[in-house]
Structure 1
C-alpha cells in the first residue's frame, strides 16, 4: 500500500464529533470513521481538524483518536449479532414469533453521549489554530459537512501550502433535486464550488460519481483536479459464515433510509397486490433503515395500509453484525432505487451470499454487473415476477443468482486505500484560490 508518511496529514473529524449524539452510523459516517482510523494510525505527523465558529481547531493524534474511538464506541457496532436487542427482536418476529421490533440505542444512552460530547468540546476548544499545521500538510475532508458554508474553509486561502483532498459521495441533490429537501440543490452546488476552489485532489466512491463531479465542475467554470476512485470497503462482519436468521417464510430485504429515491413505494404497492392475491402465503418484506424526509406517501402505506401490515416489517438501529446475520438468512436483497451514489447494501449482500435484484442504473452496473439481476425501477410487473419467482420453494432463479456469488470477493478498506493513496501522496496545492 502506498504510504502517506512523507508529509503531515490532518483529517477532518468535524462530522464525527457531531455524530456523538447519534446511536448508529450512516453510510457517510462509516466512510468518515474508516478514513479517520486509517490516517490517524499511520506513522508520521498526524492531526485531527475540527471546524468551529471560531475557526478550525487542530488536535494532536492522541486527542483526535480519542474522540474518534468515543464515537465508534457509542455506535456499538463491534458486538456480536446476538448482543444486539434490535436484532434479537427482529429475529424472533421473522422466525415465527410475535411482538414489535425494537428500535433505538443499544448500549450507550443519550445522557452518556452528551457527557462524551461535552468532554470532546472542551478538548476541541483547547485545540490550536490552523496556522499550527506543519508546512505542506495534506488536509483530508471525507464528508459533505459544512462545505455549503465556504467561509469555514477560508483558512485554506491563508495556508496555500496545504494540499486539500475532498471526498464526493454523490451529486443527487443536483442531478435529482426532486428527491431532496427544498433548497438542497443550491446547498449542494455550493459544496461543489467549495471543493472546486480548494481541492488538489478529489476522491470518489464510484466512476459514476467521479464523472458526474467532473462534468458539474466544468459546467460551473471550475477546472476539475485529479480524481481517484475507490469502491467503498465492506466491513468484515459481512460474509457467508456466521450467525443467521431462519425466517418462517421467504423474506426479502430493502436497505437504506426510507425516502422517495429509494423507490420503497413501488415495493409497498407490490406487496399490497401480493397480499390480496396470496393472503397468508405472502412473502415478507423487511425495511432496514430509518424514516427520512419527503416520505409522506410511503409512511401513509406503512402506518395505515392494513393489507401489508402482517407482511412488512420496519427495523432501524440494527447493528452491522445484526444486518449481516439477517442477510445470511434472507431470500434476496431488493434495490429498486432511482439513483444512488454507490449502493453499499448491494456489495454487503453479495459478500454475505445473498442474491441481489437491483435497479438498472449506472452505478449498480458498475459494482454489481457480475452477480445482480437488473430491472428498470419503473417496471412494476418485472419486480413482481422477480419476487414471485425467487420466493418459490427450491427456486431455480434464486439458485442461479446464488451461483453467481460463488468466489465473489467484496472490496475492503485496504483495497479502497490502495486505490486512492497514490493520488493523495502526489497531489499538489491548487494553482490558484479561485
Structure 2
C-alpha cells in the first residue's frame, strides 16, 4: 500500500513569475507530474512565513498547470522569436514569420506577476495547517529552496510519522566555493545540514553527487540515509528529427550561464587564437545562457576582444524547441566546465546527434563515457586542436564522434523514476 505523498510546491510557486524554466524547475515539474498527477493520495505543501501549508491535490495541480502555461514550452522553434533572431545572425533565416505573443511589450511579465499574487492569496485562503497532512506521508522536496532556512522544516520534528526525501542537485558551492557568490558556501552548508537532519532518503542526479553528499554527511557525523541515483530525463524535443538551420560556416555551441565554473574564458581565449589564424573563415561560437557572476574577464572579452566580438554570439531566452533545433544544426557542443553535478546539455546534445567535446570530470564521464571526446578543462592546446579538427570540411573527428551517437538512447523520466522508485517505496 502506497504512502500518501506530500509534494513541496514552494519553488514552483516562486517560478510563476519567470518566463522559462531552469534545470531544477524541470526536475520539480517532472516530480510534480509523477506524484501529484498520478497518485490520488497526494497533496501539495507550500512553505510560508507563517508555517507550512497543505493544499488539496486539485489546488496543487492547478498551480502546476499555471506554471507550465506561463513558460509556453510547446512553442515550435520557427515560432520562437529568440530562435529566429539567432538564425538571422548566423545567416540562416527561418522561413515564414514569427508569431509574437499578443499584448503590449512587458504585458506577459505583468500577467505572470499577477497570477503569482493571486496564487499566493489562494494558498493562504484555501490551505490548511500542517496538522492536516495525512498520517504516514512521504514528503518530497526536489529543489534546494528554503533549505537555508532550517526553521521552515522544524515541523518534521513534530510529525515523526512523515518520512522525508530530498533531492540534492549538487554540492558545488561547498566543494568548489571559488566558483560561487560570496557567502554561498556557508548558505549551502546550511542547506545540506538541513537535509542531513531530516532525510530518510536522498535522491541525486549522478553517482558523483551522491558520493560528495555522503562525504559531507559523514564529516558532519549525520547518519547515512539511503541514496538513490537517477539520471535526469531528456525532454522529448531533443532528438534527431525536427527543424534545423544550415549555417554557412562551422558553428559550435556552448550552453550554460556565463560564470567562471563553466570555463567560458577558455573558449573565448580559443576564439581569439582562431580569429588570428583563420580570419574570415573563423567558425562561429554560440553561447546559450545569460551573463552570471564572477565572470568579469570573460565578459570583458565578449565586449572588447575583436576576435570574440566578431565570431561569438550570445543567445538567451530560447525555448526548448529552439535549443533542440539549434543543437541539430551545430558542428559540436563544447562543454569545458571545471565541475558539474550532472551536465544536462551533454545528454541533450547526444540525443540530438550533436558531437560532444567535454571536460574530463567525473559527472561527464558518468553520463557520456564512450560518447564524448574528453579534455582536461585546463588543456587549452588540446581544446584548440579539437576545434580545428572539427571545423575541417569532411572532418574525420566529427564523423567519429557522430558515429558514436548512432543508436544512443538518452535518459528519460520513466527510467529516472524506475531508478529512484525502490528507495522511495522502501520508506
TM-score range, shorter chain: over 0.9
Structure 2 residue 73 is matched with structure 1 residue 77: yes
Cα pair distance change 1:221/1:256, threshold 3 Å: same
Secondary structure in 2 aligned to 1:342? coil
- Contact 1:57-1:129 within 8 A present in 2 as well: yes
Distance 1:18 1:292 in 2: 20
Could you give the per-residue CA deviations for residues 233-286 of structure 1, whole angstroms, max 9, x where no partner exists?
000000000011111110000001110000000000100111111111000000
**Aligned alpha-carbon RMSD (Å):** 1.6
- Contact 2:12-2:67 within 8 A present in 1 as well: yes
Secondary structure in 2 aligned to 1:200? strand
Distance 1:310 1:193 in 2: 47
Distance 1:79 1:224 in 2: 44
- Contact 2:229-2:420 within 8 A present in 1 as well: yes
Q: What's 1:120 paired with?
A: 119
- Contact 1:23-1:106 within 8 A present in 2 as well: no
Could you give the per-residue CA deviations for residues 195-218 of structure 1, whole angstroms, max 9, x where no partner exists?
010000000000000011011100
Q: What's 1:14 paired with?
A: 10
By how many angstroms is 1:167 displaced?
Answer: 0.2
Moved over 6 A (4+): 104-108
Q: Which runs of 5+ in 2 are unaligned?
A: none
- Contact 2:357-2:374 within 8 A present in 1 as well: yes
By how many angstroms is 1:293 displaced?
Answer: 1.1
TM-score, normalization by structure 2 = 0.96
Secondary structure in 1 aligned to 2:215? helix
By how many angstroms is 1:95 displaced?
Answer: 2.8
- Contact 1:8-1:46 within 8 A present in 2 as well: yes
Answer 1 or 2: higher relative contact order, Cα 8 Å, separation at least 6: 1
Q: What's 2:351 paired with?
A: 351
Residues 306-385 of structure 1 correspond to what in structure 2 (within 5 A)? 306-385=306-385
By how many angstroms is 1:306 displaced?
Answer: 2.3
Cα pair distance change 1:89/1:106, threshold 3 Å: farther
Secondary structure in 2 aligned to 1:235? coil
Q: What's 2:27 paired with?
A: 31
By how many angstroms is 1:106 displaced?
Answer: 9.5
Q: What's 2:40 paired with?
A: 44
Could you give the per-residue CA deviations for residues 211-232 of structure 1, whole angstroms, max 9, x where no partner exists?
1101110001111200000000
Q: What's 1:270 paired with?
A: 270
- Contact 2:92-2:245 within 8 A present in 1 as well: no
- Contact 2:92-2:246 within 8 A present in 1 as well: no
Secondary structure in 1 aligned to 2:116? helix
